[in-house]
């Protein structure tokens, strides 16, 4: 693609021969490619309902209501809330206590709010009445040729990896070139 000359102001370059700015070397390693593949897999994963007890990494569809000495408190209630077990999005200890529960089960979960919590609840003990409606497992696609076909125009995982590597290298090279121009 040719640059649109109208929009780019003309730059008068001074004497720059003999100026040597260090040019960084562009490296893309397998870990970079795999990280990109993992992002693609995460984006293409789906939740599937399972008939078993909750384990770490699952998503539990729960109702919960928190009580401080038997009194329900503000903001402590949720219905049909999808909670990823092990995500740490709830108070420490809460998610762990859901592990092993099945759909349809109810349980009282006792927790202590952390000291850095809202001042009304900081350091207090509370009980959450919880009910599990559904246990869902995250199914990530296998990183294989089928996956490559689903998420790209490539027929094989090898070709997809190669394209990701080239793409990352190109982006990094552009960044290096920009830095190089800024240095010079």
Query: Using one digit for the tens of pLDDT, what is the confidence trace for 36-66?
Result: 999 999 999 999 999 999 999 999 999 999 9
CB-based contact 84:36 (threshold 8 Å): no
Q: Which pLDDT score is estimated for 163?
A: 96
Q: Which pLDDT score is estimated for 28?
A: 87
Q: Which pLDDT score is estimated for 35?
A: 95
Positions in the chain short of pLDDT 50: 2
Each residue of 17-32: pLDDT tens digit? Answer: 555 656 667 788 999 9
Q: Tell me how far apart the terminal alpha carbons of the chain are, to the nearest angstrom.
A: 25
CB-based contact 48:29 (threshold 8 Å): no
Q: Which pLDDT score is estimated for 15?
A: 53
């Amino acid at each position: 693609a040719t640059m649109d000359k109208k929009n780019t102001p003309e730059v008068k370059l001074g004497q720059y021969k003999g100026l040597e700015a260090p040019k960084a070397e562009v490296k893309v390693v397998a870990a970079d490619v795999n990280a990109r593949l993992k992002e693609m897999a995460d984006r293409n994963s789906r939740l599937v309902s399972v008939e078993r007890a909750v384990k770490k990494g699952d998503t539990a569809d729960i109702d919960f209501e928190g009580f401080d000495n038997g009194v329900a408190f503000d903001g402590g209630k949720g219905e049909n809330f999808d909670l990823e077990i092990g995500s740490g999005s709830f108070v420490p200890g809460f998610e762990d206590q859901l592990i092993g529960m099945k759909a349809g089960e109810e349980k009282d979960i006792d927790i202590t709010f952390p000291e850095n919590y809202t001042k009304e609840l900081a350091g207090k003990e509370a009980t959450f009445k919880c009910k599990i409606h559904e246990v869902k497992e995250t199914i990530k696609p296998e990183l294989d040729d089928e996956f490559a076909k689903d998420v790209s125009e490539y027929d094989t995982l090898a070709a997809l990896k190669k394209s990701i590597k080239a793409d990352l290298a190109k982006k990094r090279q552009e960044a290096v070139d920009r830095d190089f121009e800024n240095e010079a």
